[in-house]
Amino acid sequence: MIEAGHIEALRALLGEKGLLAAAADMAAYETGARYDKGRAAFVARPASTAEVSAVVAYCVRHAIPLVPQSGNTGLVSGSTPDASGAQGVLSLDRLTGVFELDPVNRTVRAGAGLRLSDLNGRLEEHGLFFPIDLGADPRLGGMVATNTGGSRFLRYGDVRRNTLGLTVVLGDEAGTVLDLSSALRKNNTGVDWKQLFVGTSGAFGVVTECVLNLEPLPRQSATALLAPSSSEAVPALLMAMEDALGSYLSAFEGMSGNAVRAALDHVPSLRNPFGDGRVPDFVILAEVSRTNAPRAGEQPLDAVLEEVLAAIWEKDDALLADAFVGPPHETWALRHALSEGVKHRGRLIAFDLAFRRGDIMRFLDRMKAEMPERFPGVEICDFGHVGDGGVHFNLVVAKDDPRLADGAFEAALREWVISVCVEDFQGSFSAEHAIGRKNQAFYDRYTPAEIRRLSAALKAAASPGPLGAVEF
């Protein structure tokens, strides 16, 4: 714990609403979205960039470690304090006052504490949206810090691709404010410094404002649930649909049968489109969309999708075993229910992995073949973004399984899965969840020494103070 004098000094900087120190008030900030729980010395809740600067400067001068926290929806222990009670949490939840929309430029300048749902709710009347589709509802600062991807990465890319500018407070004794808030899409006048703060988990600096690229809201969409004829058929099916649909194809999501069953069991209102209670071993959610209003004589998108699927069905290579074109709201409701469904099935041991697109199904096949022998009783409930090579490789263990009491069990399971991913498939152990305490050891092991040295030097130059939950 830190001295009481520091608490009072920080309260003087932020006011009563801006500084929490009572255990009951801090509990929500100490508990993460996936089992992690720490102990905070305090929770600072600045309401402006100037207040963030003042808090960071004070803490750096007094060697008080700070963990920036955005929406606290992260899954790798990157936004919660450790168990020492010596770290303060720097919450962005009051940084919501900035909202400057430029509809002609299709950009918005927004506070880092604004939630994704709030941002898109305010943009909807202008026919625009920030095109990062997620099951969770994070705040913008955390989305930048973790470089979030989402279900429509295939068409729109990740947060990095859609970030034009930032305002950042550095972790130094001055709490230096960097204004990198240009709204230009083309600016080739030197180092693109904003990228230093995208995907680095808040360790290089605290994002307080974002300038984001916006896209026109789709006015037409159609979705289908596809059962591929085999796992080997999935890459060919993806290429066939990309060839036939071009930029209309906005999502190509993979869902294991186990994950779909978990969602159907957890949310009784969801409809099983496959009938007779059966669920295929693997299901693809495909979406096509257009941003223009329907025009006279234009073929509706559901007809386009049906026509493309019929052509694929009739080919000799038999890529499809089944297909259902259905209402987008029902299809996406199933996809967005997967996370909660899997979480309620048992104790979740989760991974966020990335592969070359042609390797993702080979990895999953290997896991299905070897898991029963290596770790019997562990159920694979994977789902993810086949179109961009990402997979949320979720493993479920029964809550009463005695192995859960032995920390070595989960450690061995993690070691095996990630070693296969990185060493055998040249994949990534963190596709879009960034680096937190859960991934620190793998970062240290798999990041080349020269890259770690350069990263540490950049961190020391930008934010020499104890900022963030990650050691670069």
Sheet holding 40-44, edge to edge: 19-20, 40-44, 87-91, 66-69
CB 402 within 8 A of CB 250: no
Which pLDDT score is estimated for 1? 73
**d(C-alpha 392, C-alpha 354), whole Å:** 9
Containing 169, the helix (H) or strand (E) segment is: strand 163-169
The CATH class for the domain spanning 346-430 reads alpha beta
**d(C-alpha 131, C-alpha 151), whole Å:** 10
Q: What is the mean pLDDT of residues 215-235?
A: 97
Which pLDDT score is estimated for 430? 96
Which pLDDT score is estimated for 275? 75
Task: Enumerate residues 6+ apart whose C-beta is below 8 A from 462.
Answer: 170, 171, 196, 204, 205
Identify the CA nearest to 463 among candidates 209, 197, 211, 210: 197
Rg value, the chain, Cα = 23
Q: Is 4-94 a domain of CATH 3.30.43.10?
A: yes
Q: Is this model's pTM higher than 0.85 or not? A: yes
Amino acid at 19: L
Rounded to 5 degrees, φ, ψ at 80 are: -115, 155
Residue carrying structure tokens 């294991």: 256
Q: pLDDT-based confidence at 235, cuts 50/70/90?
A: very high
Amino acid at 256: S
Judge whether 220-338 and 346-430 match in fold.
yes
Task: Return the SS3 of 90.
Answer: strand
Q: What is the largest CA-CA distance in the chain?
A: 76
Amino acid at 165: G
Tell me the per-residue pLDDT of 374-401, one tens digit each, with 9 for 90 and over: 999 999 999 999 999 999 999 999 999 9
Q: pLDDT-based confidence at 186, cuts 50/70/90?
A: very high
Q: pLDDT-based confidence at 467, cuts 50/70/90?
A: very high
In the chain, where are the structural domains located? 4-94, 99-216, 220-338, 346-430
Topology adopted by domain 99-216 = 3.30.465
CB 435 within 8 A of CB 470: yes
Architecture of the domain made up of 220-338: 2-Layer Sandwich (3.30)
Q: What is the mean pLDDT of residues 141-145?
A: 97
Portion of the chain with pLDDT greater than 90, in percent: 93
**DSSP, res 409:** H
**d(C-alpha 62, C-alpha 46), whole Å:** 18
Tell me the per-residue pLDDT of 11-54, one tens digit each, with 9 for 90 and over: 999 999 999 999 999 999 999 888 889 999 999 999 999 999 99
Rounded to 5 degrees, φ, ψ at 86 are: -100, -10
Task: Return the SS3 of 160.
Answer: helix
Tell me the per-residue pLDDT of 189-200, one tens digit each, with 9 for 90 and over: 999 999 999 999
Task: Return the SS3 of 181.
Answer: coil
Q: pLDDT-based confidence at 355, cuts 50/70/90?
A: very high
**DSSP, res 387:** G
Distance of CA 425 to the CA centre of its chain: 22
Q: What is the mean pLDDT of residues 358-365?
A: 98
